[in-house]
Structure 1
């Protein structure tokens, strides 16, 4: 009981001084290097278990969009080099892990069928990393489980899930909607500053909603409702359009094509 109390007390103290890029106070109990190492290990294991897309055209296309977006993201988590991998899988999904690891499933290219739409997805995933959402998920689990020992249980798929790799890896649902809404707004800023049309984010999620049916796809399963997310994107659209206009005037016109 004493250890649990100390963990919770420490959590409350850290909650007062740790904030996301949008100014939300968050629970962070681990240093960035620990989470970056966890992200790298989980990502490396995924690369051995999920087929990797070999097409140069597809890889160059995804990386073109990703690196243009990364240039506009302010990371303070210690990412030295971002790694982008395209997985040959029909899942309508993408993810990012601490340490600057981005995974894009080929299945999402059928829905995010333009560079602007895919930039909305990738900007969203970059936002998860720079906002320390993976660290926050792990910290929440540590408090719920009573301490540091919980980190020892995160290996392979479990680590990938807790860090944000998608519903199929077991996400902590009670907190993820807040993370997803925040990543939408930060991602909108990233894509627009990179020179991608932010209005594509709305059409992307309208298209995702049309696919939903009775069972939401992986990328949507822990997200806010379609109407809520589209309203939030539209509420933030004036600022994004101003960023987009400024980016174009600065010559930022990413020519990413397959």
Structure 2
């Protein structure tokens, strides 16, 4: 049996198990399975591999993408570039970290907006934010970050609310936070949405629900919107390529 899975906390919202179960069925891989391993604390990580000897690889979701790297034997250049890992492959007994989030985000953004020339505003400063930063850097798109604390980014949410005209600078706003993710669908980043520029783009890395409150605000003020489903599928396919390398 070959087992793959997802670690993080929480993981109940994830589409990954359904995605890979369908993929294994389509490829007639009866000896493959994909499981959800809810892991609140990373000190449980080594025991996971001891308990599941048939575990070949895992995806990593919030909140562990950055700190999981210290448990790995080596990092691929993609994980080094981002400073976080969302894919782990056990190869010849060694755990290797990769980052497919950054490549998937970059490609999905290119598919959505051709030759974007403006600035981007990234909401959040965690592992997903770092992947988005790397993707934007590849595309030569300048960006600023918003975080809850001054140390986390260029702006805090309070600073933007105090000076809402900041919003007008950015035509592309990307949510990398878990705000709005199932089951907390009613939450959203606290911003003066009525100050966004006309013709803006709202990209939410969340895909469950399909339309978050963040995206609803974007539509209300005539922004084009995109959720994280394509990014999920792109990174899942890249994960599969890594696990079969």
TM range (shorter): under 0.3
Higher strand share: 2
TM-score by length of 2: 0.28
TM-score by length of 1: 0.27
Higher helix share: 1
> Which has the bigger relative contact order, CA under 8 A and spacing at least 6?
1
